[in-house]
Amino acid sequence: MEYEKWDEVLAPYNNAVEELKVKFKNIRKEFLTKGEYSPIEFVTGRTKKIASIVSKAKRLNIQDIEAEMEDIAGIRIMCQFVEDIYNIVNLIKSRSDMSIVYEKDYIKISHIVVGSCGCMLLRQPVGRESIRFCFS
């Protein structure tokens, strides 16, 4: 695929990542402004590099990258406590501008609280690009 086409394909993912980073940073700010504890320590996000997308597509024999690759874009929300992860997940579930495609709870699966503790695939806003959320 030509570079211009990649730019066209990745632009909506880049925009969605930036939009979500702003949303979650503002949620954190709202907690702090009210003098409340914020379950969100900080938020980062990224869109996968073209070389990484191509490499993964070849390795996994992916034909339709947008339909078959779930981690083109990602958000990581860092939390101090395990309970905070569940609080943020519940907050996401209560929002009308996001819908959860699937959820995988690594805390319950592994019983180890190191590194990535939870993960979900989210469609944000409803009907747009899928963004992978990871909580640590």
pLDDT, residue 105, reads 75
Q: What is the pLDDT of residues 21-34, one digit of tens each?
A: 999 999 999 999 99
Strands 130-135 and 73-78: parallel
Residue with tokens 């086409």: 5
Exposed / middle / buried, residue 90 (Cβ in 10 Å: 0-12, 13-18, 19+) = exposed
CA 118 to chain CA centroid, nearest Å: 11
**Whether the predicted pLDDT of 57 surpasses 50:** yes
Question: Once rounded to an integer, what is the mean pLDDT over residues 57-68?
Answer: 90
Q: What is the pTM of this model?
A: 0.78
The string of pLDDT tens digits covering residues 65-75 is 888 888 888 88
The DSSP annotation for 46-114 comes to EE--HHHHHHHHHHTT-S-HHHH-S-SEEEEEE-SSHHHHHHHHHHHHH-SS-EEEEEEEHHHHH---S
* Helix, coil or strand: residue 127: coil
Both structure tokens of 95: 């929002």
Quick: pLDDT tens for 32-52. Answer: 999 999 999 989 899 999 999
